[in-house]
Structures are given as C-alpha cells and as structure tokens.
Amino acid sequence: MIPRDTATRRISATIATALVLGGCTPDDHRGQGGPDGPRPATAPTPTASPSETVAPLAECPPTGVRIRSTGGDAAMGLRALGIELVNCGDRPYQLNGYPVLHVFDEEREPIMLRVVNGAKGITSGFDQPPRKVTLAAGERATAVVLWRNLVTDSTVVATNGEFLTVAPAAGQPAAEVDPDGPIDLGNTGRIGVSAWKKADPSAPVPTRPAPPPAPSAVPSSVSPPDSRL
C-alpha cells in the first residue's frame, strides 16, 4: 500500500496545473445511473485515444459541444477523473451547474447509484458553488468526477462500472466519455462531480489527456480503503 503522505503529495502536485475544484452542495441526484439514464450508443474503440475524439478538425456534434475525459488519477482508494467540454459551435454556449452522469456495467446495463453534486461523503475540497459560465466558440469548461474504491461490508458485492456518459446539464444530450479505467465504486454506491468551471482561455487545448486535479486532503470521517484492494 502507498504511504498516506506519499499518496497525498502525488495528488496535490496535480492541483497546481489544473482547475479549482467545483462546489459542494446538499443537493444531489439519486438514481442518475439508473434505468432512466441514456445508454452508450456504441462501444468505445480500444485503439482510439480520447484526444482523437476531440481533434480540432473533427465534425462538431449537433449539440455544438464536445465532451471528453482528460485522464484519471488515483491514490489511497480515491479516484479523480477530469472532464472537459469544448464549445465547437459558432455561437456562445452557457453552463450553470453540474455535469449529469450515468454509469453502466460491462453489459451496458445502467448501474443504480447516487450522484452527489460536489463530493459530500467522499472527500473534502468541493466547496465552490456553481456559477454561470458562458463559453465563446472554441472555449472550454472543466469539471472533476470523484469516487472511492472503498469496501466496508464484505457481504455487499462491489460495483464496477465500465462505461460513463456525461451531459452538460439535465435534459440535454449525453456523450460517452472514456473513464480511463474501471469506475470501481466498491460498495459506496455514490459518485461525486464538481460544478462546471471555465478553463483558462490562455491555456492551449491539450493534445493528450492530462491528469485531473484531486483534493489534497482526505477527511478523517472517511475510512481508509480495504487493505485487500
């Protein structure tokens, strides 16, 4: 097992070059990964990298935006996955809130789970509330998906998601994104997501996925991951 101080330093190093984490709010969405959620339309191509799906010359979807993951990071059972939305259309695009997530198993069946706006009960650091974001053509917004690979009850089957879809907001079309590995929720049954935040316009669009930010501290109220993981 990686020492706690080493794991914390490794995650902290990613914060300096990434977005400030989104807000934590008492409100959350229950069952967003349930049967009512949109299912991934097609299986991902194993040989295609996330960057290829958002190449500058790629055709812009009818929604006017592209959504992709920007890579993941993990330590001490804490998982963080960066999400990026690019306005590829020719008119301003507005956001004000949180991405909407749906998780599916290897058979592409929806997984029932609790999606938390912020990361209450998962970790600290998601205390910035959502703000209105207006993206001009070519501008980007980012968010972070967070969960724990935590097993507290050996009698409960651990949940492993294989596919992830993300919508800009409730009621809007979702896009399938690369989760950069299994969404190993243990038996927590929950996943958190930060609010959309406008990316620095001076920062170039990455040609390869970059590690997302992650909280620099783990609250004492959260138990350490099972030693068998």
- Structure-token pair, residue 71: 């890579």
Over range 84-102, report the average pLDDT: 96
pLDDT score recorded for residue 55: 41
Quick check: 95 and 84 in contact, CB under 8 A?
Answer: no
Is a pLDDT exceeding 60 seen at residue 84? Answer: yes
Strands 190-193 and 114-117: parallel
Look-up of token digits 């790629």: 58
- Give the range among 25-39, 132-146, 214-228 with minimum mean pLDDT: 214-228
Q: Does this model's pTM top 0.75?
A: no
- Give the range among 18-27, 125-134, 158-167, 190-199 with minimum mean pLDDT: 18-27
Q: Angle at the Cα of 183 (from 68 to 170), degrees rounded to 5? A: 55
Domain range for 48: 4-198
Q: How many CA atoms lie within 13 A of 30 on its CB side?
A: 2
83 part of a folded domain: yes
3-state secondary structure 165-199: EEECCCCCCCEEECCCCCEEEECCCEEEECCCEEC
Q: How many CB atoms lie within 10 A of CB 5?
A: 8
Is a pLDDT exceeding 90 seen at residue 57? Answer: no
Q: What are the Cα distances from residue 69, in Å, to 9, 176, 220? A: 23, 9, 29
**Residues of the chain above pLDDT 90, percent:** 47
C-alpha 182: how far from its chain's center? Answer: 12
71 part of a folded domain: yes
Considering 92-101, 154-163, 179-188, 196-205, the range whose residues carry the highest mean pLDDT is 92-101
Phi first, then psi, for residue 93 (nearest 5°) are -130, 130
pLDDT score recorded for residue 44: 42
Phi first, then psi, for residue 8 (nearest 5°) are -65, -45
pLDDT score recorded for residue 104: 97
Is a pLDDT exceeding 70 seen at residue 223? Answer: no
Question: Which carries the bigger pLDDT value, residue 14 or residue 121?
Answer: 121
Taking alpha carbons only, the member of 205, 200, 202 closest to residue 18 is 200
- Give the range among 40-44, 143-147, 151-155, 197-201 with minimum mean pLDDT: 40-44
What is the C-alpha separation between 36 and 82, in angstroms, rounded? 25
Question: Which carries the bigger pLDDT value, residue 11 or residue 197?
Answer: 197
203 part of a folded domain: no
pLDDT score recorded for residue 212: 54
119 part of a folded domain: yes
- How many domains does the chain fold into? 1
Average pLDDT of the chain to the nearest whole number:
74
Over range 173-199, report the average pLDDT: 94
